[in-house]
Amino acid sequence: MRALLAFLLIPSVALAEVPRVVTDIPPVHSIVAMVMGDLGTPTLLLDQGADEHDFQLKPSQVAALAKADLVVWIGPELTPWLDSALDARGGESAVLTLFDDVGTYKINYFVSALEAGETQAEAEVHETAGGSIDPHVWLDPSTARWWTGLIAADLSRLDPKNAATYTANAEAASARIAAAEAEAEALLLPVRDQPFVTFHDAFGYFISTFGLTPAGTIALGDAAPTGAARLSELRSRLEAGGVVCIFPEAQNDPALVTQLAEGTNVRIGGTLDPVGSSLEPGPDAYAALLIGLAATLADCLAD
């Protein structure tokens, strides 16, 4: 409902002002920054190195939300802390909830579906109901390209005199994302058949886009507990052979990865960071995220 009604409550933006935009996570911030270009700089709420699922806003960030003309975020499925802040904020900012848009491709938690016995084709089927939908939708670059147009359209409604610039910037951003996707694909093509394990099931869109071969995850979902039985089962899988690499993840204890890999032939890869929390925020961050994930995977999986 928020997405449908957002622009019925567009705040008054002075004709001489560029909209004040607030974003949730680095990939979204990067895409918005590309579309805004030289006209303005969006505000990023998530601090560098912070956990996107569990974050506490500072007073200055609450104030930025209250003053925003437009808030662009994934949705409560990823950042419930922002959902409550949006409900409690003052002001009447427009809100673009990217997860809710019909053009945002959504799938179930991918590796979890495979482990439950689904085929890869079944696991990739678009789903719309229940809590099993993977919210890490920005890791599908085709979705990110779609968002550039959504963001440009919303900025143009708020700032019509700069509409042509937003549209041109969105087209350039889409091309930039496509180029990053092509570079990532070139890195991953030689290793796409090499099985690997990640810390949690956050990479389904990335795996599906580039045709990779997942062999499991330590945790099944963002909030799923990792019990002794699951660790034992995963350890047995690693000991059986066939898995090439296991990857630690930002905001998770790497000791568990080391413990699982110890005494096996499985290599420990570099740290994966699906939200790009360690990257320098800005227009270059989204491309850096795609290429960085691809390079980290390829470096370990290469023979």
Alpha helix (H) ranges present in the chain? 2-5, 26-36, 59-67, 80-88, 110-115, 120-123, 141-158, 163-188, 204-210, 228-239, 254-261, 285-301
Residue 151, phi then psi, degrees to nearest 5:
-65, -45
Task: Categorize the per-residue pLDDT at 101 as very low, low, confident or very high, splitting at 50, 70 and 90.
Answer: very high
Question: Which of 64-78, 205-219, 235-249, 284-298 tops mean pLDDT?
Answer: 284-298
Q: Kindly report, residue by residue over 269-290, the tens digit of the pLDDT.
A: 999 999 999 999 999 999 999 9
Q: What amino acid is encoded at 104 in this protein?
A: T
Highest mean pLDDT among 79-93, 150-164, 210-224: 150-164
In the predicted structure, residue 69 carries a pLDDT above the cut 90: yes
- How far is the C-alpha of 63 from the C-alpha of 41, rounded, in Å? 17
4 confidence band (pLDDT: 50, 70, 90): very low
Q: Is the pTM of this model over 0.85?
A: yes
Q: Residues 217-229: what's their mean pLDDT?
A: 70
Specify the pairing of strand 70-73 against strand 21-23: parallel
- Integer Cα distance of 74 and 82 in angstroms: 10
Q: pLDDT tens across 107-144, in order? A: 888 666 555 555 555 555 554 444 488 999 999 999 99
Nearest-angstrom CA–CA distance, 299 and 191: 9
What is d(CA 245, CA 5) in angstroms, rounded to the nearest whole number?
Answer: 46
Q: Is the pLDDT of residue 1 over 50?
A: no
- With beta carbons less than 8 A apart as the criterion, state whether 301 and 191 touch: yes
- How do beta strands 245-246 and 214-219 pair? unpaired
CA–CA distances in Å: residue 213 to residues 140, 179, 195, 232, 300: 16, 23, 5, 21, 14
With a CB cutoff of 8 Å and minimum separation 6, the contacts of 63 are none
Q: Which structural domains are found in the chain, ordered by start?
A: 2-184 (3.40.50.1980), 190-301 (3.40.50.1980)
The tens digit of pLDDT for each residue in 11-59 reads 444 445 899 999 999 999 999 999 999 999 999 998 887 778 778 888 9
pLDDT at 8: 41
Q: Which pLDDT score is estimated for 130?
A: 45
pLDDT value for 107: 87
Q: Rounded to an integer, what distance in angstroms lies between the CA atom of residue 172 and that of residue 250?
A: 30
